[in-house]
Amino acid sequence: MMAQLKQVRPTVFEPPRADFEILSRAIYGKPLVYLDSAASAQKPRQVVDAMNAFAANDYANVHRGVHYLSAAATQAYEAARGTMQRFLNAAQADEIVFTKGGTEAINLVAYSWLAPRIRAGDEIVLTVMEHHSNIVPWHFLRERQGAVLCWVDVRDDGSLDADALDAAIGAKTKLVAVAHMSNVLGTVTPLKDIVARAHAKGVPVLADGCQGAVHATVDVRGLDVDFYALTGHKLYGPTGIGALYAKRAHLEAMRPFNGGGEMIREVTRDFVTYADPPARFEAGTPPIIESVGLAAALDYVSSFDRNAVKAHEAALYSHAREAVREFDWLRVIGDAAGKGAILSFESAGMHAHDVATVLDREGVAVRAGHHCAQPLMERYGVASTIRASFALYNTREEVDALIEGLHKARKILTR
């Protein structure tokens, strides 16, 4: 048998529209054009079906009864942990803690890892493009324990200068907290480089991967990152579940977070001992049905050639970016090289909410506001922006609908 030559023809990615029932519905009589996936992605039937089937046939609480269904549910829940481990290329499944979402994952690190290790005057390095979920937990430590927040600026094009970040890491730095990808600018940060430089100074790094994990393959071992937080609902999975990856040694050394069932070894009237990680950080009944949905979502995402998806999203972004060049009344915020498929802009003489309202009536869903990134809005001197974010199911025609809608907004709002 002749050895087959590997085909080198470029992959043409066909958006799997049929998997997403919601994409065929109408909004105000117009086809839905959903460009708000950076806020939350739509769910494919593979995810919806997996959750329905599990809830209908296999559901029980986990880690408790000895009965058949409890064992089956526990197996499904722990299998989901394994799926997340492989998705992130973590060394062990028990380096994955399931949380309520990305926000809780970061709060867990702040409370259980950093708070007991930080003293007044110690520093946390973060960038001005962080989402509030990667800012406010550190403000808690500033308010309560006197931690100092050291802000690293971005360049005007939204890119992050790794040298500037490196320079901000000093003898008092206890943690670097940085987005893998900005939810406003689309900037992808040089995470591997940041981690290497921080480690050279003995400082651990937390990456907020809520956007980053959606748009690129994540290899936590390759990155050597200490903590990686992500959420399910932006990854085409359900709400109510996310995960924290943390190196085993960090997890072992972390104090418990919420107290309750599941996270203990033994409870008496006089003392309590705690379970090993990850159970130590998963008090109470976890999001069981959601874990099944999350695993289905990760399988779904992984079923595609992820580079082809990335190229598809990049092509949508370029098409939109080129189209808005002709609008001299529009200012794009975030033009970093290699950025993800997020287009943020402000428009002269038109407020973001008014533009979004006009677009909405055209069936075009975008986000208008500060995107939970107020320090970044301040950095660019804007109160709010309009953000169109592109996902694997979007099409070139939908970008055209956005552009058409912007023409219309201009006509209505500046007449």
Partner 1 sequence: MNDDLRELYQEVILDHSRHPRHFGALAGATHSGQGYNPLCGDRVAVYLAVDGGRIADIKFEGKGCAISQASASLMTDMLVGRTIAEAEKLMGGFLHLVKGEDAADLQGDDRERLNVMAGVSAFPMRVKCATLAWHTMKSALEGGAAAKTE
Q: Give ∠ CA 60-65-71 in degrees, rounded to 5.
A: 60
348 near partner 1 (CB under 8 A): no
46 near partner 1 (CB under 8 A): no
357 near partner 1 (CB under 8 A): yes
Q: Which stretch binds partner 1 (CB under 8 A): 123-131, 156-164, 243-251, 363-371?
A: 363-371
Report the C-alpha dihedral over residues 214, 220, 225, 230, rounded to 10 degrees: 30
Q: Which stretch binds partner 1 (CB under 8 A): 7-15, 67-75, 332-340, 362-370?
A: 362-370
| 172: nearest Cα among 108, 250, 118, 253 | 118
Q: Across the strands, what pairs with 245?
A: 96, 228
Closer to partner 1 by CB, 130 or 362: give it: 362
Q: Give ∠ CA 261-265-271 in degrees, rounded to 5.
A: 95
Per-residue b or e along 347-380, where b marks 16 or more CB atoms closer than 10 Å to that residue's CB: beebebebbbebbbebbbbbbbbbbbbebbbebb
386 near partner 1 (CB under 8 A): no
413 near partner 1 (CB under 8 A): yes
> How far apart are alpha carbons 394 and 3 in whole angstroms?
37
352 near partner 1 (CB under 8 A): yes
Closer to partner 1 by CB, 39 or 311: give it: 39
Task: Judge whether 96 and 243 are in contact, CB under 8 Å.
Answer: yes
Task: Kindly give the interhelix angle for 396-413 and 352-361, rounded to the nearest 10 degrees.
Answer: 120
28 near partner 1 (CB under 8 A): yes
373 near partner 1 (CB under 8 A): no
Interface pick for partner 1 out of 368, 386, 399, 403 (rule CB under 8 A)? 368
Is 150 annotated in the active site? no
> How far apart are alpha carbons 111 and 108 in whole angstroms?
5
361 near partner 1 (CB under 8 A): yes
> How far apart are alpha carbons 74 and 77 in whole angstroms?
5
Closer to partner 1 by CB, 224 or 360: give it: 360
Interface pick for partner 1 out of 119, 353, 396, 407 (rule CB under 8 A)? 353
Q: Which stretch binds partner 1 (CB under 8 A): 35-43, 104-112, 322-330, 355-363?
A: 355-363
DSSP structure string for 65-83:
--SHHHHHHHHHHHHHHHH
Interface pick for partner 1 out of 369, 395, 400, 404 (rule CB under 8 A)? 369
Task: Judge whether 225 and 85 are in contact, CB under 8 Å.
Answer: no
Beta carbons within 8 Å of 221's beta carbon, 6+ residues apart? 89, 90, 91
Q: Which stretch binds partner 1 (CB under 8 A): 77-85, 211-219, 338-346, 364-372?
A: 364-372
Interface pick for partner 1 out of 78, 94, 157, 354 (rule CB under 8 A)? 354
CB of 237 to partner 1, least distance (A): 26
| 23: nearest Cα among 50, 41, 47, 49 | 41
Q: Which stretch binds partner 1 (CB under 8 A): 69-77, 83-91, 297-305, 369-377?
A: 369-377
Q: Across the strands, what pairs with 365?
A: 34
Catalytic one among 253, 311, 315, 372?
372
> How far apart are alpha carbons 365 and 376 in whole angstroms?
23
235 near partner 1 (CB under 8 A): no
Residues forming the active site: 372
Q: Which residues bind partner 1 (CB under 8 A)?
A: 28, 350-354, 357-358, 361, 368-370, 377, 383-384, 408, 412-413, 415
